[in-house]
Structure 1
Amino acid sequence: MTILNASMRRPTTPAVSAPASQDWKTRSVCRDKVADDFFSTSTAAKERARALCVGCPVIVECLNHQRQSDDAIYRWGVGGGLDPDQRRALEVEELLGNRPDLVMAQLLVSPRWLYRLRRLKAGCRSLEGMVAALRKDGLVVDEVTVRVAVWWSGGQGARMARPARLDRRSWRARLRDEYADVVVMLHKLGVRRADIAAYLGNPGKDGEKGVSEVLKAVAEKSAAAGVELAA
């Protein structure tokens, strides 16, 4: 979403005399498109917007620009191929020192590699598994770079691994059993509960509630042991 005229939510047109730093906007594939899909909360609309972004030659510039204009609390719209929750998750990744190689992520969603990425997305339970397979293919990638590529391709890209075939536990149960230490660590770093949920891959009220339940359980256990959980 280049947001040339985002505030008006109307079809965008190239600026006649745009500053050199903004020239990339005139090369975006959405410059002549109606912007409604980029601001809708509908899943179908988001996917239509993302489909435009994936083939855009300036997706990297757009994502960097969008993130600079994101509000710390309230974010809106698909920008640079990512929705607000994905951009929140990316911010947490970078807080942890995980910075994506966006040029490599763009390569992974190019016609040459997209089929391979989708096959790995379907066959691997985790980002770690996808990274290992892509490294065997000769690509120098890391988890956060692959995560961005998965998002761009329309996947979930969750930090939490998919459950094993016979694992019938709920998302909340797996969060409590396997990721409580991650939740507590992020909480101590001051990350909002909604952002922890987005980072792990289950954004929204359900994810936030799951994070709250984990923190409550850990706090109760710590209190019983005479240890106070940091606010």
Structure 2
Amino acid sequence: MTILNAGTRRRTTPAASAPATPDWKTRSVCRNSEMADDFFSTSTAAKKRARALCVGCPVIVECLKNQRQSDGAIYRWGVGGGLDPDQRRALELEELLGNVADLGMARVLVSPRWLHRLKSLRSRCRSLEAVVAALREDGLIVDEVTVRVAVWWSGGEGARMARLAPDDRRSWRQQLRDDYADVVVALHERGARRADIAAYLGIPGTNGAKGVGEVLRAAAVAGMELAA
């Protein structure tokens, strides 16, 4: 940028001027996409299309960080950084538990080199823990929350609740009470809402929040019985 020197009226260039760093948004895949409306739709199909477009975006990490800064404590809207509102809510609760994703490594996991392997593992493994164990055997240094983000980016559900084995006849509500009561209570004590906890576990929606409420009520009753 040039300015006019006030004393001599000469056009000069400020010494402090330097080439501006290109805005990462100019490199985003969605910038001129005809699918822009999909990023703000509540339709499951539209959100899926939007997230699929994000996977190959060179600035998906920057976008996710930016989107999370604009998310409200309760209100979240649209697909941003390859994640929908429930997934971004779940990521916040991961951090409440001290689990911080390595987004750079998550980006590696959805690169052409690793994406097929990740999709194969997510289809046959029943839990995030099992996917992490397999990737560590491949020589990668990964953790569950990093893999969870990569699974989301690759189009998977990435639920914290493990898929039940074929011979396990429990309902998801019983599984929640049996296997995840401790984490439900821990998140509740950290101020998380029931809907947030359900999203963290991968069972968002009204039924998920009701299931979490049942666990909390049972824990409260058990606590009163122990105190009696």
TM-score normalised by L of structure 2? 0.88
How do 1:144-159 and structure 2 match up within 5 A? Answer: 144-159=145-160
Partner of 1:32: 32
Cα offsets for 1:139-197 (capped at 9, x unmatched): 11110000000000111111111111111211111001111111111111111111111
1:224 positional shift: 2.6
How do 1:53-92 and structure 2 match up within 5 A? Answer: 53-92=54-93
| Alpha-carbon spacing, 1:137–1:219, altered in 2? closer, same or farther (3 Å) | same
How do 1:178-193 and structure 2 match up within 5 A? Answer: 178-193=179-194
How do 1:1-231 and structure 2 match up within 5 A? Answer: 20=20, 23-34=23-34, 35-226=36-227
| Alpha-carbon spacing, 1:220–1:50, altered in 2? closer, same or farther (3 Å) | same
Secondary structure (helix, strand or coil) at the match of 1:225 reads helix
1:103 positional shift: 1.0
1:80 positional shift: 0.2
1:22 positional shift: 6.8
Whole-angstrom distance in 1 between the partners of 2:162 and 2:115: 21
Residue segments in structure 2 that go unaligned for 5+ positions in a row = 1-18
1:132 positional shift: 0.8
Whole-angstrom distance in 1 between the partners of 2:40 and 2:207: 22
Whole-angstrom distance in 2 between the partners of 1:83 and 1:92: 15
Whole-angstrom distance in 1 between the partners of 2:135 and 2:213: 35
1:40 positional shift: 0.9
Whole-angstrom distance in 1 between the partners of 2:56 and 2:178: 39
Q: Give the total of aligned pairs.
A: 209
Residue segments in structure 1 that go unaligned for 5+ positions in a row = 1-18
Whole-angstrom distance in 2 between the partners of 1:62 and 1:135: 27
Verify the 8 A CA contact 2:96 2:187 in the aligned structure 1: no
1:204 positional shift: 1.2
1:135 corresponds to which letter in structure 2?
A: R
| Alpha-carbon spacing, 1:20–1:172, altered in 2? closer, same or farther (3 Å) | farther
TM-score normalised by L of structure 1? 0.87
Whole-angstrom distance in 2 between the partners of 1:71 and 1:21: 28
2:165 corresponds to which letter in structure 1?
A: A
Whole-angstrom distance in 2 between the partners of 1:105 and 1:27: 19
Rg: which structure is higher? 2
2:24 corresponds to which letter in structure 1?
A: W
| Alpha-carbon spacing, 1:121–1:225, altered in 2? closer, same or farther (3 Å) | same
1:221 positional shift: 2.1
2:118 corresponds to which letter in structure 1?
A: L
